[in-house]
Amino acid sequence: MSSEKKKILLSQGSGGKQSHDLIQDLFFNYFNNEILNEAGDSAIFKINSEYSAFTTDSYVVEPLFFPGGDIGKLAVFGTVNDLSVSGAIPRYLSVGFIIEEGLDFNILENVVISMAAAAKMANLRIVTGDTKVVNRGKCDKLFINTSGIGELQPKFTNISSGENIRAGDKILVNGFVGDHGMAVMSARNELKVRAEVKSDCAPLNGLIQQILNVSEDVKFMRDATRGGLATVLAEIAQTKNTGIDLFETKIPVRESVRGICEIFGFDPLYVANEGKLIIIVSGKDTEKVLETMRKNEFGKETQIIGEVVNNHPGKVILHTSIGGKHIVDILSGDQLPRIC
Amino acid sequence: MSSEKKKILLSQGSGGKQSHDLIQDLFFNYFNNEILNEAGDSAIFKINSEYSAFTTDSYVVEPLFFPGGDIGKLAVFGTVNDLSVSGAIPRYLSVGFIIEEGLDFNILENVVISMAAAAKMANLRIVTGDTKVVNRGKCDKLFINTSGIGELQPKFTNISSGENIRAGDKILVNGFVGDHGMAVMSARNELKVRAEVKSDCAPLNGLIQQILNVSEDVKFMRDATRGGLATVLAEIAQTKNTGIDLFETKIPVRESVRGICEIFGFDPLYVANEGKLIIIVSGKDTEKVLETMRKNEFGKETQIIGEVVNNHPGKVILHTSIGGKHIVDILSGDQLPRIC
């Protein structure tokens, strides 16, 4: 690999193709081990002879506060969701703060209050932490890392990898996509149109536990954050070399989000979410899971948006509202930096 | 608490008194739970009905490479050491990168190579990670968070809190103090004198396991990082309301480090280390532990530097080389920002 003049690009943190390549070239290459290589939202391993899930995320969202959330809430729920989609019950969180010298104490305090409330809501504890302060101008106000540990029942250890995905499985999403990205963007000066859209930032552990209580036939779950719904599905189709049919008219997108996306040239399927669960479940359990999800406050607008097919292996085909067919690929380039 | 006009100061990330106050006022106040409140280097809890240790640290050291180490090595060994001093065996690490747009790929690659080697040396695996890229000027090249999980035997669960510390216990340190801080400082432009001193950055898990194999009477361990040896001992004396006598002539300080410290007005006892273990052990086990430590590559220069006493509870008294007595307090103010 000729790397002499290469520079790190914003797109390498986008969650899309360039992120994927960087992770492969560097982290999987050098840190190479069978747990890491599973590449799920959480690492799955045995500790003290029982299965655990372990995950980490740094949050650099700009601005720190936006409609529907803030960096603290995001940091707690983001890690809760990464553990939950692996089938685990989130138990303990660590938090690392990197603070710019001169930040208002009030801002930090409000973020901490928000994190405490989020941890309570998600029913887990923040048990350890670290604080670094860097000189003025050496970071942008506040970055937060959260890492989390969850307990995982052995019967759910293959959800993360999606190894049991088969043709006939259905794909569901628990509501409107694109809200988070458009809420953060509307909170930035960049967007002159002030949209009435709030981030969907939410903890998915309660919803997911309810699903796992009614079905042992959940094949795969992922929260559709950076890269959006499209990237999650394109990745799983490629990784498992399976086909996916996706039905545009079934995918919930708010009118307001659709409007902003049209103006600014975004595709809502690629816009980040912070409370959206993509779930693949066997055909026979689909109705049961759908019913359970719709009863949960974070699943009221759940829709069956697609299915796993034997045709076009490795590809996601979007059937559009006007009868067209498009290949849906992984996000390429950088859509919205510092969205989480 | 009147916080209206308060701003975050560099000293609040120093690891000394101001850090302690910030942590108490904010994090312990709002995140309040019995695991966090133990305030050890790692959180100790049961997961899957067995004890585990869990810790997190963010690394913002400047420069990224310095004599004897780099940010990657520091990030791996720092978290290894935090788990190890809690009596745990480090097993799994997460890594979160926050990268400034435009960073040379080569720099990142070299850091990753260093982390992979460090993980191998410390016999643990990096199992999950996250990458964020922020716009140019919004962070300083590269920040790294590592979080780690270790397995902990029930008989070692009270080492972290130091609850069994008693008068007559001896205090040992595994070698020269102040090397890391002076190595980083010498690598900065600030220091015109180029000192021939290397960081002591090292994994302490092997040494600590050897100690725990020969003694079940280890009362307390901590790695003396930010705030140095003085802050660790002053904190434990205050927390446990016990007296500590410290003997200046027994504390190993290199001539080169002593020299730089004199020129720049630093006290080597407050300078950060990255491979220094402070251990408190019962009088009867001291010789056995000393002998074991000196056989290990990271313990060759181990010294008995002090003891726990009934006099002056809550205070550390330094007996100086010229027969004086000084109270040793927790670091106050900001000595060296971005040392780790």
Q: Do B104 and A6 touch (CB under 8 A)?
A: yes
Predicted confidence at residue B49, as pLDDT, reads: 80
Let me know whether B123 and B221 are in one domain: no
Euclidean distance between CA atoms A316 and A311, whole angstroms: 10
Where chain B has pLDDT below 70, the residues are 1-4, 189-195
Name which of B251, B280, B87 is nearest B168 in CA terms: B280
Residue B59 corresponds to which tokens in the numbers above? 């690394």
Average pLDDT along chain A: 94
Q: The CATH number of the domain where B127 resides is what?
A: 3.30.1330.10
pLDDT at position A85 = 98
pLDDT in tens, A18-33: 999 999 999 999 999 9
pLDDT tens track for A180-193: 999 998 898 665 66
State the average pLDDT over residues A142-146: 98
Quote the pLDDT of residue B1. 46
Q: Which of B4, B8, B12 to mutate to test the interface with A (most CBs of A within 10 A)?
A: B8
- Say if residue B214 is in the same domain as residue B303: yes
Same domain, A133 and A216: no
Question: Closest residue of A to B37, CA-based?
Answer: A127
Q: What is the mean pLDDT of residues A307-336?
A: 93
Give the pLDDT confidence score for residue A174 in this predicted structure.
98
Which of B306, B179, B167, B173 lies closest to B241, judged by CA?
B167
Asked if the structure places residue A13 within a domain, the reply is no
pLDDT at A1 over 60: no
DSSP state of A191: -
A239 plus A91 within the same structural domain: no
* Domain-embedded: residue B138: yes
Q: pLDDT value at position A40?
A: 85
Q: What pLDDT band is residue A334 in, cutting at 50, 70 and 90?
A: confident
Looking at the structure, do residues A127 and A242 belong to the same domain, yes or no? no
Nearest CA in chain B to A48: B50
Beta carbon pairs, A and B, within 8 Å:
294
Residue contact A10–B129, C-beta within 8 A: no
* pLDDT beyond 60 at A3: no
Distance from CA of A14 to the nearest CA of B (A): 8
Residues of A within 8 A of B338 (CB-CB) are 132, 134-135, 138
Chain A: residue nearest B4 by CA? A106
Judge contact between A246 and A319, C-beta under 8 A: yes
User: What ipTM, to 2 d.p.?
Assistant: 0.96
Mutation target among A1, A4, A8, A98 for the B interface, most CBs of B within 10 A: A8
Same domain for A320 and A180, yes or no, is yes
Q: Residue A195: what pLDDT?
A: 63
Residue A292 has pLDDT above 60, yes or no: yes
* Nearest one of B67, B140, B75, B49 to B102, comparing CA atoms: B140
Residue A28 lies in a domain: no
User: Which residues on B lie below 8 Å from A133 (Cβ)?
Assistant: 8-14, 337
Let me know whether A323 and A262 are in one domain.
Answer: yes
Q: How many domains does chain B have?
A: 2
Q: In the listed set B121, B156, B191, which residue is the last one of a domain according to the structure?
A: B156
Chain A residues in contact with B94 by the CB 8 A cut-off are 43, 54-56, 147
Q: Which of the four pLDDT bands, split at 50, 70 and 90, describes residue A50?
A: confident
pLDDT at A8 over 70: yes
Bridge partner residues of B254 (DSSP): none
CB spacing of B129 vs A31 below 8 angstroms:
yes
For A68-100, write each residue's pLDDT tens digit: 999 999 999 999 999 999 999 999 999 999 999
- In angstroms, the CA A32 to CA B125 distance is 9
At A191 the pLDDT is: 59
Q: Return the CATH number at A190.
A: 3.90.650.10
Strands B218-223 and B277-281: antiparallel
Q: What is the pLDDT of residue B50?
A: 87
**Tokens of residue B328, six digits:** 């040793």
pLDDT at site B194:
63
Contacts of A85 in chain B (CB under 8 A): none
In a domain, B165, yes or no: no
Dist. CA B41–CA B55, nearest whole Å? 7
Indicate the average pLDDT of chain B. Answer: 94
Does residue A6 sit within a domain? no
β-pairing, B243-247 vs B325-328, is: unpaired
Query: Is residue A145 domain-shared with residue A241, that is, in the same domain?
Result: no
Please indicate, yes or no, whether residues B71 and B139 belong to a single structural domain of this protein.
Answer: yes
B13 domain residue, yes or no: no
- Quick: pLDDT tens for B238-287: 999 999 999 999 999 999 999 989 988 899 999 999 999 999 999 999 99
Secondary element (H or E) of residue B72: helix B71-85
- Mind listing the pLDDT tens digit for each residue in A224-244? 999 999 999 999 999 999 999
Q: Are residues B261 and B135 in the same domain?
A: no
Q: At what angle do helices A286-295 and A205-214 cross, to 10 degrees?
A: 140
B145 and B180 both lie in a single domain: no
Q: How far is CA B135 from CA A9, A164, B153, B219, in A?
A: 9, 40, 45, 47
CA B146/CA B126 separation, integer angstroms: 9
B177 in any annotated domain? yes
**Of B214, B207, B215, B125, whose CA–CA distance to B169 is shortest?**
B215
pLDDT at B40: 85
pLDDT at res. B104: 97
For residues B88 and A2, the model is more confident at: B88
A216 and A314 both lie in a single domain: yes
The domain in which residue A323 lies consists of 170-328
Domain assignment present for A119? yes
Is the CB of residue A90 less than 8 Å from the CB of residue A124?
yes
pLDDT band at A116 (very low <50, low <70, confident <90, very high): very high
